């Protein structure tokens, strides 16, 4: 089969929340045109090359409009697969590896760091779709009783500095391969629970992980995921100058931290409805006291204070971790919602400390196999001193038109 | 009692016994000619799906008010688990382009979905929809005789999808395992050929969900099989999905393929 292409035209319009004169907010409108390519080439009966790339043109942030300011190439995957027999697979190159069973936040999805690309939809599946892979070597062994996977991902560059932006043809190995990582995953066939156990060595630190899932009847699937290890929390990762961080700096920790998710999905066949709900716990995120110090710092309003506030958000975004220690995520999707081929979705994340909500409502119309049109309305709601209410953009709208070839 | 009366009484009892004998024999004969409903269901399973490891192409075409709405082409790989007699099935999307490479796995105990764009393997329920009226549980191959207990409702002449009259066994199926996705099924199986002709599928609540017609029987892998299944929405008869099966072929399918971690390698 030949390569597949997609062409996406997207534009986002952002409103402004008043009372944030110093806040850094996205530009009021952000057009983007992207061309994606994916190809699997069988070079032998037991070998295949996979290539996935996307090049986008966006409105420059500043006045400069050179190639690097306008274009960004995302080399998502480029790897060789060698399958010597039906039960052993070797892969080498840039590979998007995705572990875990949860939808919104997946603690055992260890290669999510630095992988996020600009996407129109906030649907977690879309966020992970076409993300940057990590350069790695992978060996998988399958047998009737389960599967074992061993992955080695070397450090290729130092982690990018805060605020660094990529552009042009930069492959961003500093984003995806800034640390040596070694991951072993074991998935035994143990009946309906389908466990998956993980052992990650990241630099010199060890993490353990476990995921389970269990269907209940024909309509419900439940799941749980956990990861734990000694690592710096969000504040510790973001902190450069303890003095500047003030009281928030005292929240920095480097100890055994846990991440956990418990969730379920429910489907109704004749209504073509699926509802997902998750409780997400990220011990390295901001707890109640840390949030208080965070907003105290934001209230200071000086450039250095706002820089710290931005840095914490940037670290969470880079790590693909929740900002808050506790939150709830929910998503509802209805196919053929009143009109055939129209899918309506609504998703939201609630900060359980301040009750603020960030979410997105979307409508996707797939009238033909080649075309898809999407309308997305993102919103943030909450008190001024809350995670989502404190963001400078209360509402943004985006439209996306995709053509598949 | 006088001796003649005793003899008369005995003769009457003998005559009554002799008179009832043909009826008794007829009842016995009927009991012997009415086959076991579970055996009828098993025979229908063997007609519906090959019992040896196989591959086929399935095209799902969605219609509303007789107008085509959408179409998905799938490659289906399936084999029976020798221990459980359940089918293990791999379904790979071949078309349209937006769905290319997606894979659904049913390995007897669970249903998994792999999305090649996000590389996510998620567990899904049989009730989640693929397209149109076909839920995941309709696409994966199943042995109804393993998942359901059959009881005989009687015989009935019904019209098949081709409008021809079919003399059928009318079976009532109730779930016999946790793998059963429907609360109840009515199945009409042609008496002379064991071909399934029509099915009605009910939710756990008892609500009728869909009606299926098995149609276009053609020779494939050693038997005449229904190469077309018409699924009609019981709530809105204008909505229908046609499942067309083609390109049957035997295929060696290692057990190692039927697990969640292998889905990204399915070709």
Task: Look up residue A46 and give its two tokens.
Answer: 């037991």
Determine the Cα–Cα distance for residues B21 and A246; give it in Å rounded to an integer: 103
| Percent of chain B residues topping a pLDDT of 90 | 49
Give the mean pLDDT of B51-63.
92
With contact defined as beta carbons under 8 Å apart, do B42 and B156 qualify? no
Among B64, B109, B203, the residue with its CB nearest the CB of A340 is: B64
pLDDT score recorded for residue A303: 80
pLDDT band at residue B9 under the 50/70/90 scheme:
very low
The ipTM assigned to this model is: 0.86
Smallest CA-to-CA distance from B105 within A194, A107, A77 is with: A194
A218, A266, A340: best to mutate for the B interface, most B CBs within 10 A: A218
Contacts of B119 in chain A (CB under 8 A): 96-98, 128
Determine the Cα–Cα distance for residues B56 and B244; give it in Å rounded to an integer: 10
A187, A269, A366, A369: best to mutate for the B interface, most B CBs within 10 A: A269
Query: Chain B, 145-164: which have a CB under 8 Å from a chain A CB?
Result: none
With contact defined as beta carbons under 8 Å apart, do A129 and A6 qualify? no
In chain B, the residue whose alpha carbon lies closest to the alpha carbon of A125 is: B118
Pick left, alpha or beta for residue A89 (phi over 0 → left; psi -120 to 50 → alpha; otherwise beta). Answer: beta
Among B70, B110, B125, the residue with its CB nearest the CB of A219 is: B125
Among B118, B127, B254, the residue with its CB nearest the CB of A125 is: B118
Pairwise CB contact (< 8 Å): B70 & A142: no
Q: Which three-class secondary structure string do you get for chain A?
A: CCCEEEEEEEEEEECCCCCCCCCCCCCCEEEEEEEEEEEEEEEECCEEEEEEEEEEEECCCCCCCCHHHHEEEEEEEEEEEEEEECCEEEEEEEECCCCCCCCCCCCCCCCCCCCCCCCCCCCHHHHHCCCCCEEEEEEEEEECCEEEEEEEECCCCCCCCCCCCCCECCCCHHHHCCCCEEEEEEEECCHHHCCEEEEEEECCEEEEEEEEEEEECCCEEEEEEEEEEEEECHHHHHCCCHHHHHHHHCCCCEEEEEEEEEEEEEEECCCCEEEEEEEEEECCCECHHHHHHHHHHHHHCCHHHHHHHHHHHHHHHHHCCCCECEEEEEEEEECCCCCCCEEEEEEEEEECCCCCEEEEEEEEEEEECCEEEEEEEEEEECCCCCCCCCCCCCEEEEEEEEEEC
pLDDT score recorded for residue A64: 58
pLDDT band at residue A28 under the 50/70/90 scheme:
low
With the CA atoms of A117, A118, A119 and A123 taken in that order, what torsion angle do they form, in degrees rounded to the nearest 10?
60
Nearest chain A CA: its distance from B118 CA (Å): 4
Pairwise CB contact (< 8 Å): B70 & A268: no
pLDDT score recorded for residue A306: 80
Condensed to tens digits (0 to 9), the pLDDT of residues B159-208 reads 999 999 999 999 999 999 877 878 899 999 999 999 999 999 998 889 99
Contacts of A366 in chain B (CB under 8 A): 70, 98
Give the mean pLDDT of A195-207.
96
Q: What is the residue whose two structure tokens read 């049913």?
A: B106
In whole numbers, what is the pLDDT of chain A averaged over residues?
87
* DSSP string of B6-58, one letter each residue: HHHHHHHHHHHHHHHHHHHHHHHHHHHHS--HHHHHHHHHHHHS-SS-EEEEE
pLDDT score recorded for residue A191: 78
A270, A335, A370: best to mutate for the B interface, most B CBs within 10 A: A270
Q: Is the pLDDT of residue B2 over 50?
A: no
Task: Look up residue A41 and give its two tokens.
Answer: 């080439």
Measured CA to CA in angstroms, residue A239 lies from A296, B47, B223 at distances of: 16, 68, 71
Q: Is the pTM of this model over 0.90?
A: no
Checking DSSP bridges between strand B67-80 and strand A395-404, what pairing results, if any?
A: unpaired
Condensed to tens digits (0 to 9), the pLDDT of residues A120-163 reads 777 777 777 778 999 999 999 999 889 999 999 999 999 887 76
Question: b/e per residue, A112-140, with b = 16+ CB within 10 A?
Answer: bbbbbbebbbbbbebbbbbbbbbbbebeb
């Amino acid at each position: 089969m030949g390569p597949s292409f997609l062409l996406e035209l997207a534009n986002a319009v952002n409103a402004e929340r008043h009372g944030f004169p110093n806040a850094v907010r996205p530009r009021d409108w952000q057009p983007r045109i992207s061309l994606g390519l994916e190809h699997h080439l069988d070079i032998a009966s037991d070998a295949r090359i996979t290539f996935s790339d996307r090049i986008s043109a966006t409105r420059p942030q500043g006045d400069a409009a050179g190639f690097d300011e306008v274009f960004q190439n995302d080399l998502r995957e480029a790897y060789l697969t060698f399958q010597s027999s039906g039960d052993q697979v070797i892969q080498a190159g840039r590979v998007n590896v995705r572990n875990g069973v949860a939808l919104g936040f997946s603690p055992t999805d260890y290669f999510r760091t630095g992988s996020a690309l600009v996407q129109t939809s906030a649907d977690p599946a879309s966020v992970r779709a076409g993300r940057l892979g990590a350069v790695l070597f992978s060996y998988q062994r399958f047998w009737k009783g389960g599967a074992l996977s061993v992955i080695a991902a070397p450090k290729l560059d130092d982690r990018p500095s805060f605020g660094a932006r990529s552009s042009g043809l930069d492959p961003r190995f500093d984003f995806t391969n800034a640390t040596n990582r070694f991951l072993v995953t074991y998935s035994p066939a143990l009946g309906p629970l389908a466990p998956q156990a993980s052992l990650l060595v990241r630099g010199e630190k060890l993490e353990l992980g476990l995921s389970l899932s269990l269907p209940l009847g024909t309509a419900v699937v439940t799941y749980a995921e956990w990861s734990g290890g000694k690592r710096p929390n969000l504040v510790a990762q973001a902190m450069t100058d303890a003095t500047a961080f003030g009281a928030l700096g005292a929240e920095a920790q480097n100890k055994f931290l846990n991440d956990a998710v418990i969730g379920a999905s429910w489907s109704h066949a004749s209504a073509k409805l699926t509802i997902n709900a998750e409780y997400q716990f990220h011990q390295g995120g901001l707890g109640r006291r840390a949030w208080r110090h965070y907003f105290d710092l934001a209230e200071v309003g000086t450039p250095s204070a706002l820089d710290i506030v931005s840095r914490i958000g940037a670290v969470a975004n880079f790590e693909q971790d929740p900002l808050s220690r506790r939150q709830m995520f929910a998503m509802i999707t209805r196919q053929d919602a009143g009109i055939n081929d129209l899918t309506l979705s609504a998703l939201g994340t609630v900060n359980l400390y301040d009750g603020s909500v960030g979410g997105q409502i979307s409508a996707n119309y797939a009238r033909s196999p080649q075309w898809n049109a999407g309308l997305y309305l993102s919103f943030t709601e909450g008190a001024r001193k809350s995670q989502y209410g404190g963001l400078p953009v209360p509402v943004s709208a985006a439209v996306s038109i995709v053509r598949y070839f | 009692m006088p001796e003649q009366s005793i003899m008369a009484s005995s003769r009457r009892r003998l005559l009554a016994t002799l008179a009832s004998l043909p009826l008794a024999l007829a009842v016995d004969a009927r009991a012997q000619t009415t086959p076991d409903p579970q055996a009828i269901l098993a025979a229908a399973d063997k007609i519906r799906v090959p019992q040896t490891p196989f591959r086929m192409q399935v095209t799902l075409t969605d219609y509303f008010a007789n107008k085509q709405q959408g179409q998905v082409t799938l490659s289906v790989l399936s084999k029976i688990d020798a221990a459980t007699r359940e089918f293990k099935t791999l379904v790979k999307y071949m078309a349209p382009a937006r769905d290319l490479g997606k894979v659904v796995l049913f390995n007897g105990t669970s249903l998994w979905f792999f999305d090649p764009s996000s590389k996510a393997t998620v567990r899904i329920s049989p009730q989640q929809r693929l397209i149109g009226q076909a839920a995941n549980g309709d696409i994966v191959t199943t042995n109804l005789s393993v998942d359901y207990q059959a009881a005989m409702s009687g015989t009935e002449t019904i019209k098949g999808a081709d409008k021809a009259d079919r003399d059928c066994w009318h079976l009532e199926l109730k779930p016999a395992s946790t793998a059963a996705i429907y609360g109840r099924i009515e199945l009409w199986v042609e008496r002379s050929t064991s071909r399934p002709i029509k099915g009605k599928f009910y939710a756990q609540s008892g609500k009728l969900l869909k009606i299926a017609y098995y149609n276009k029987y053609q020779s494939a892998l050693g038997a005449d099989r229904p190469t077309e299944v018409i699924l009609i929405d019981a709530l809105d008869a204008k909505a229908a999905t046609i499942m067309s099966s083609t390109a049957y072929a035997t295929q060696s399918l290692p057990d190692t393929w039927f697990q969640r971690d292998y889905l990204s390698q399915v070709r």
